[in-house]
């Protein structure tokens, strides 16, 4: 099993180029199944979740051609099955997106119940509610979601909770439905807008994405397109936190600063100096970090996917900070691991952490409970005294491309290792 070993204490500085957003690219790849024509998707990250989904759609007959590391051409004309059974796909959360697109085009689909990160209760009732409103019959049997419809007809769907996944999935099913669909209490995240823009570039008629009411006028067919995925605001935010914890000076390049406002505002409140350009943000963390309160909320609130990383930064802030995650009920599982490094954090009621600032963290062997918690532990290791070993990095690699290489370019001492021999070698070389 691969791990990261980190020798902490280096001040990180320089520029890092941010890749395409995994959580936008996943539904966009699924959306490519809605047409028989060629679709070219640029700026996709080369990470496990994306590659698993690409393999899964090629197993049901889509032609998937890698044009380059970050560009892919998909042609879904020859799809011969609407059942995704790939063992790997069961493990990713986004396995539910082909349900929306296959149902939309073929009026039937069978996909595994989603897996993904273990961050609390993750129902799919709102996806089901939306599909049923369009006329589909949904059954769950043997771990699979089975959807069938004679035809899909547009309808009004009011989501009981704001959900990114269900908003996108029902949008995927509705673009080829007869008549009009209105999604109310829709999620507003930048990737909802990105998926809508992608679908509109294929000839769909979607209005209002980015607000809480999305109106979709069904069209007869969609055509091919070429599209570039938006930058990954969570990857960018992660490097911004790395600047804060190492007292570094990092410029995240190829970003949309507007998407990062909630993160930038918190870092500024904590005392970091930020400079913003059209497509970059520079974070100077050479300051005494100040305590703050964070509430992870739906967009444009502070993103839940940045909650573990900011909690690590707040370990270094003077005084007591409070972090609440209102989106998922089990997203503080990493706190036990951080405690091994000397953090002083108490979790109350499952979704609130009380973080007492401390002088330093010390390196320890810790394990990633999920993707964002894993990367937060890496961030902690960058600032900790001595050596940190982060186990179970396959979680991290589901969503971060070349994390170790990008961090090394900024001056970190980090290595991906397989065994004790490689760990010893790293320790001997580390300065
Ligand atoms: N929810 C329901 N019913 C549903 C769907 C969701 O009650 O049918 C609840 C969830 O339990 C949660 C809330 O609604 O409490 C929000 O869930 P949402 O549907 O927005 O999340 P998701 O689609 O499961 C995506 C990302 C997550 C990210 C969340 C929130 C993907 C593959 N996953 O999950 O990303 O945290 O949106 O922004 O896009 C990550 O990248 O590390 C990650 C976990």
pLDDT at 89: 81
Kindly report the backbone phi and psi dihedral angles of residue 82, in degrees, each rounded to the nearest multiple of 5, phi listed first.
-110, 25
Q: Which of 62, 60, 61 lies closest to 41, judged by CA?
A: 62
- Distance from Cα 74 to the centre of ligand 1, integer Å: 26
pTM over 0.85: yes
pLDDT at 118: 67
**Ranges under pLDDT 70 in the chain:** 115-118, 120
Cβ of 327 less than 6 Å from ligand 1: yes
The answer to whether the beta carbons of residues 292 and 317 sit under 8 Å apart is yes
In testing the pocket of ligand 1, which one of 25, 132, 163, 330 has its CB within 8 Å of the most ligand atoms?
163
Q: pLDDT tens across 4-18, in order?
A: 999 999 999 999 999
Cβ of 328 less than 6 Å from ligand 1: yes
pLDDT at 406: 98
Q: pLDDT tens across 292-343, in order?
A: 999 999 999 999 999 999 999 999 999 999 999 999 988 999 999 999 999 9
Cβ of 60 less than 6 Å from ligand 1: no
Show which residues are catalytic.
117
Cβ of 97 less than 6 Å from ligand 1: no
């Amino acid at each position: 099993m691969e791990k990261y070993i980190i020798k902490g204490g280096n001040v990180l500085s320089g520029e890092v180029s941010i890749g395409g957003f995994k959580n936008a690219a996943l539904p966009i790849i699924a959306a490519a199944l809605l047409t028989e024509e060629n679709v070219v998707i640029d700026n996709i990250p080369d990470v496990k979740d994306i590659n698993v989904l690409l393999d899964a759609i090629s197993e049901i007959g889509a032609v998937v051609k890698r044009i380059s590391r970050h560009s892919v051409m998909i042609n879904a004309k020859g799809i011969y099955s609407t059942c995704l059974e790939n063992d790997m796909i069961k493990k990713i959360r986004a396995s539910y997106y082909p349900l929306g697109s296959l149902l939309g085009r073929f009026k039937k689909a069978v996909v595994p119940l989603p897996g993904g990160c273990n961050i609390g209760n993750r129902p799919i009732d709102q996806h089901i509610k939306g599909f049923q409103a369009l006329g589909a019959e949904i059954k769950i049997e043997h771990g699979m979601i089975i959807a069938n419809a004679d035809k899909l007809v547009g309808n009004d769907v009011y989501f009981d909770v704001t959900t990114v996944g269900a908003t996108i999935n029902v949008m995927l099913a509705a673009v080829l439905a007869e008549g009009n669909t209105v999604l109310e209490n829709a999620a507003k995240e930048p990737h909802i807008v990105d998926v809508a823009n992608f679908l509109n570039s294929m000839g769909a008629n979607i209005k209002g994405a980015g607000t809480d009411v999305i109106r979709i006028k069904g069209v007869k067919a969609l055509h091919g397109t070429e599209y570039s995925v938006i930058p990954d605001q969570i990857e960018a935010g992660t490097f911004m936190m790395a600047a804060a914890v190492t007292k570094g000076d990092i410029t995240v390049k190829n970003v949309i600063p507007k998407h990062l406002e909630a993160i930038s505002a918190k870092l500024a409140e904590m005392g970091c100096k930020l400079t913003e350009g059209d497509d970059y943000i520079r974070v100077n963390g050479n300051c005494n970090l100040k305590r703050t309160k964070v509430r992870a909320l739906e967009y444009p609130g502070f993103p839940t996917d940045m909650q573990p990383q900011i909690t690590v930064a707040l370990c270094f802030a003077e005084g007591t900070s409070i972090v609440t995650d209102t989106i998922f009920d089990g997203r503080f599982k990493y706190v036990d691991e951080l405690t091994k490094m000397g953090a002083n954090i108490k979790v109350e009621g499952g979704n609130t952490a009380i973080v007492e600032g401390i002088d330093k963290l010390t390196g320890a062997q810790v394990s990633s409970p999920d993707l964002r918690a894993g990367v937060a532990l890496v961030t902690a290791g960058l600032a900790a005294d001595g050596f940190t070993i982060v186990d179970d990095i396959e979680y991290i690699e589901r969503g971060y491309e070349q994390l170790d290489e990008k961090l090394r370019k900024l001056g970190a001492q980090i290595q991906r290792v397989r065994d004790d021999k490689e760990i010893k070698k790293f320790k001997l070389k580390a300065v």
